[in-house]
Amino acid sequence: MFPKNFLWGGAIAANQAEGAYQEDGKGLSVADILPVGSDRFENISYDIDVDEFYPNHKAIDFYHRYPEDIALFAELGLKCLRTSIAWSRIFPKGDEDEPNEAGLRFYDNLFDELLNNGIEPVITISHFETPLYLVEKYGGWKNRQLINFYENYAQTLFERYKGKVKYWMTFNEINHTHTLPLIAAGINVEKEDEWQKLNDMYQASHNMFVASAKAVLAAKQIDPDNQMGCMLSLSPIYPATCSPKDVLESYQLRRRSLFYSDVQLRGKYPSYFERIREENNLHLETQSDDFTIIEKGTCDYLGFSFYRSSLHEAGMKILGNTGGLLGKKNPYLEETPWGWPIDPIALRYVCNELTDRYEKPLFIVENGIGLRDEKIENKKIIDEDRMIYLKAHAEQMEEAIKDGCEIIGYTWWGPIDIVSAGTGEMEKRYGFIYVDRKNDGTGTLAREKKASFDYYQQIIKTNGNNLDYSKFVREGVVI
């Protein structure tokens, strides 16, 4: 049984949905310089090329269409919507003393619209949207000056939206500092040697830990009811074989991610980090009070994304994308059209792993499947594979609750089709709501409900007690 007040919801990100990338005083962010393609994080140029297509610039125009979309979310029955605030809407460069009032007003209106429709805002303060100016001038999060800029930004949000937002997360998928350093930490390490790259990643991580802790302390001082979470990508890692080398190296690799939640939830650097520091000759710039701040500013809950598991063999190159770490092909699992293993049992596994480790509430703030939904004129999209995926993961989430895991809620990634973070595609669709836009930016942006919309609506109405999707699967009907 799901708890009575379980937060069934959906999740989007400002940079993947809003568009309006230069409207009302907004500055550029790292997301605004990313083109379409699986190589969008390589050979990055900070200059906007007028001949290049940048999908985030318009996205699905949520900035102008949010009342229409929120009305659909309310019809769907969402109890909460996770989204982010675009830092460069509030502080266009990131280092200003005073905020941009037009940006603050937009989120006032957005949150009011959500609340008026009975939808709780769940807000990520920084979701792959570091202002580009902070990257160009300061070098991103490897520069500790960003701690003060972020603290000013976060405090501005807490004061402005007091009473409107209760659930916050400080950074999106902070552990992607290792695999996606530009968007996760605003650092460009493409041309650095291996030592410098690793040192910069851990320096950026440290500075983000301090900033996160300061945000937690400020949030609690401004409104003690604020619930502050950290957010990580935490799909589990299996050893490829029972070889002790595979098992140990998989464990060590897993710990590279859990390092981030260890610090943010336990309030101190774990003992195993000392060996990492010594063996890699890391030289981190810290200040004496950093560790006291980290200790005092621990997070209340752990938000995490879950899309897949990965299979690791000792010695293999460690690669990752927005779904998590890439590994060997798992012969026991089916895959999505984009090659992501489908592993619902792993969701139960990771919920138990995290509960055993931290004994704190969990919030599954991203889970979903990207599919190639084919739109046929005058026919409803019957996305059975999405319903199958949702049912299987809801079942395992319920099993985890029975296991004793305290799970606050579940926000499906992309209740409406949005731009893919990993590839910039629109045709990698997650939504229960179809958006008429293609990878090249063409389309009317019209919204249309898929069959999975009705299915998720049923799940929410019954609080997870009815997971039968059979009546929603039939040949496309004329609409």
Q: Residue 116: exposed, middle, or buried by beta-carbon count in 10 A (0-12, 13-18, 19+)?
A: exposed
The phi and psi torsions of 363 (rounded to 5 degrees) equal -135, 110
Catalytic residue, from 18, 129, 249, 366: name it.
366
H helix or E strand, kind and range, residue 366: strand 362-366
Q: How far apart are CA 35 and CA 422, in angstroms?
A: 11
Residue pair 365/122 in contact (Cβ under 8 Å)? The answer is yes
- Report which of 442, 450, 437, 455 is spatially closest to residue 476, judged by C-alpha positions: 450
Q: How far apart are CA 390 and CA 385, in angstroms?
A: 9
Q: How far apart are CA 190 and CA 201, in angstroms?
A: 12
Q: How far apart are CA 250 and CA 151, in angstroms?
A: 35
Q: Residue 324: exposed, middle, or buried by beta-carbon count in 10 A (0-12, 13-18, 19+)?
A: buried
- What is the CB-side half-sphere exposure of residue 358 using CA atoms within 13 A? 31
Map residue 77 onto helix, strand or coil.
coil
Beta bridge partners of 10: 81, 412
The separation between the first and the last C-alpha atoms of the chain, rounded to the nearest angstrom, is 36
In sequence order, the 6+-apart residues with CB closer than 8 A to the CB of 248 are 314
Identify whether 395 is a catalytic site residue.
no
Residue pair 44/181 in contact (Cβ under 8 Å)? The answer is no
- Report which of 374, 365, 357 is spatially closest to residue 434, judged by C-alpha positions: 374
For β-strands 80-84 and 7-11, DSSP reports them as parallel
DSSP assignment letter at 51? T
Tokens 């699967």, residue located: 473
| CB burial readout 430-461, b (16+ within 10 A) else e | bbbbbbebebeeeeeeebbbbbbbbbbbbbbe
The dihedral of CA 241, 247, 253, 255: what is its sign? positive
Q: Which amino acids are annotated catalytic?
A: 366
